[in-house]
């Protein structure tokens, strides 16, 4: 279970926000490694106000990298990886909602197989971060 977990209408301060981002990064890397047998080379998570962005680079397998070199192959890999991204949302959005004590009300996916890049953007039903004080900006 999550080490960072908001209760009620609590909001993350800067330190807790960074800790939550790191926790989600590790969680996502473990998830993809267990489901696909290959983790993402670079994962980045950003939580800001009512938005969560998870993005990754270096997720393609060697055969997929070869297939992507053709236009038809690019479409096939993009389609397959969008399916993986949607399954990731089904599997992991409940974890993120519990962690942040907020519901995901909108989400979108982007997969650019030719650039070995993917992104999942979630909009929450409430703001989960505190405003930065002038000394923290």
User: How do residues 8-33 score in pLDDT, each as one tens digit?
Assistant: 778 999 999 999 999 999 999 998 88
* Measured distance CA(129)–CA(85) in Å, rounded: 25
Looking at the 3D structure of the chain, how many domains does it have?
1
- Let me know if residue 130 belongs to a domain: no
- Let me know if residue 71 belongs to a domain: yes
- Let me know if residue 65 belongs to a domain: yes
Question: Which uninterrupted H or E stretch holds 119?
Answer: strand 117-124
Q: Supply the pTM of this predicted model.
A: 0.85
- Let me know if residue 131 belongs to a domain: no
- Let me know if residue 100 belongs to a domain: yes
Domain range for 81 = 14-124
């Amino acid at each position: 279970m999550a080490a960072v977990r908001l209760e009620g209408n609590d909001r993350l301060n800067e330190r807790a926000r960074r800790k939550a981002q790191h926790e989600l990064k590790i969680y996502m890397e473990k998830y993809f490694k267990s489901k696909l047998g290959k983790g993402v080379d670079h994962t980045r998570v950003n939580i800001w106000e009512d938005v969560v962005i998870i993005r990754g680079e270096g997720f393609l397998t060697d055969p997929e990298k070869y297939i992507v070199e053709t236009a038809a192959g690019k479409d096939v890999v993009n389609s397959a990886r969008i399916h993986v991204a949607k399954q990731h949302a089904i599997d992991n959005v409940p974890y993120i909602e519990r962690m942040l004590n907020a519901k995901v009300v909108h989400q979108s996916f982007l997969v650019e197989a030719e650039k070995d890049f993917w992104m999942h953007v979630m909009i929450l039903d409430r703001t989960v971060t505190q405003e930065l004080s002038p000394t923290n900006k």
